[in-house]
Every structure is written in C-alpha cells, then in structure tokens.
C-alpha cells in the first residue's frame, strides 16, 4: 500500500462537489501526497471544453450533450442553485476571498502532477467523446477496475 496516495472517485457533477474534490486534492498534493482522480458519470460535464465540439454523435449522445452542463463554468449547485444565481454568488464570494476559481484549480492540479482518469464506460453511457474534453497534462482513460486498483493501493479514498 502507498502510504501517501489519495484516490478520489468524482461521480457528482455539482459545482460544490467538484470544488470540494479539487480543494481536497490540492490540499493533499501540497502535503506531498500523490493524488489520483477518477472522473465518472455527471462529473464528466466538468471536463467538457466549451470551445470544442465532437462530431458524428448519434441522437441520444446529442441529447445528453445538450442537457449536460458544458464545462466547469456551467455546473450547478447541489442546493440553492436558483437558476444559476447560486453558483454566480458563490463564485463572486470566492473571488472576493481570494479563493482560486475551478479553472485555476484544474490548472494547478495539472502542474502538481495530479492524475485524472476518465471512466470510459461513463463516456460511452453519456456519449461524450475525447475530442470535446479539456486539455490536461496528465489524462488517462480507463475503467472501474483501474479505480478499484488505485483505491486499494491508496492510503486514503473518497467517493464524491
């Protein structure tokens, strides 16, 4: 077992949950822990690049594509979303208090060498293609067995 490894399965795609995942990850990385993030299901929305477009999608994939938030700037709050006003308020308070934005947190995560693995089954289920995902230095594509393996060899695991 790796004493200094943290594995997080990020399944929720809510702004507050993805934020929690990134804050904890950066905190752990700052303490020299190795951090491995496994994005699946709704959290894939956070990894969509709004400037990119995928082609050749079938009907269901297009529907999912329309309904899922297009990138981390469009994520909803799990509570008090109030039609998008909630996230706007939170973001402005974060800025006022000098908290990094999600965008900046992902950038820092990349610089810290935090690994992001994207669940391939989730990509299939939601019809999300590789060409519409954000650029990130340390990106892998794998399945739940990989997460189970990472989690098993980590000293800490979270499901968010």
Binding residues for a copy of itself, rule: CB under 8 A, are: 1, 3-4, 6, 8-9, 11-13, 16-17, 20, 23-24, 26-28, 30-31, 33, 40-42, 60, 63, 67-68, 78-80, 89-90, 93-94, 97, 99, 121, 124-125, 127, 143-149, 151-152, 154-160
The distance of closest approach from Cβ of residue 159 to a copy of itself in the complex, given in angstroms and rounded to an integer, is 4
As a whole number of angstroms, the distance between CA 87 and CA 90 comes to 5
The distance of closest approach from Cβ of residue 79 to a copy of itself in the complex, given in angstroms and rounded to an integer, is 6
As a whole number of angstroms, the distance between CA 81 and CA 85 comes to 6
Beta carbon nearer to a copy of itself, 87 or 132: 87
**Full DSSP string of 55-88:** -S--HHHHHHHHHS-SSGGGPPPSS--GGGHHHH
**Which stretch of DSSP H or E encloses residue 106?**
helix 102-111
Structure tokens that stand for 7 in this block = 């594995």
The distance of closest approach from Cβ of residue 8 to a copy of itself in the complex, given in angstroms and rounded to an integer, is 8
The distance of closest approach from Cβ of residue 135 to a copy of itself in the complex, given in angstroms and rounded to an integer, is 25
């Amino acid at each position: 077992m790796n004493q200094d490894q943290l594995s997080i399965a990020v399944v929720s795609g809510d702004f507050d949950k993805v934020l929690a995942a990134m804050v904890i990850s950066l905190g752990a990385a700052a303490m020299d822990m190795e951090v491995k993030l496994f994005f699946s299901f709704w959290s894939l929305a956070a990894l969509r690049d709004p400037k990119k477009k995928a082609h050749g999608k079938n009907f269901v994939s297009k529907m999912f594509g329309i309904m899922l938030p297009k990138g981390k700037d469009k994520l909803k709050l799990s509570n008090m979303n109030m039609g998008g006003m909630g996230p706007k308020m939170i973001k402005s308070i974060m800025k006022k208090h000098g908290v990094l934005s999600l965008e900046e947190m992902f950038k820092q995560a990349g610089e810290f060498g935090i690994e992001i693995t994207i669940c391939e089954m989730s990509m299939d289920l939601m019809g999300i293609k590789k060409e519409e995902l954000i650029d990130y230095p340390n990106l892998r594509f794998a399945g739940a067995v990989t997460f189970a393996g990472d989690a098993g060899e980590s000293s800490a695991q979270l499901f968010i």
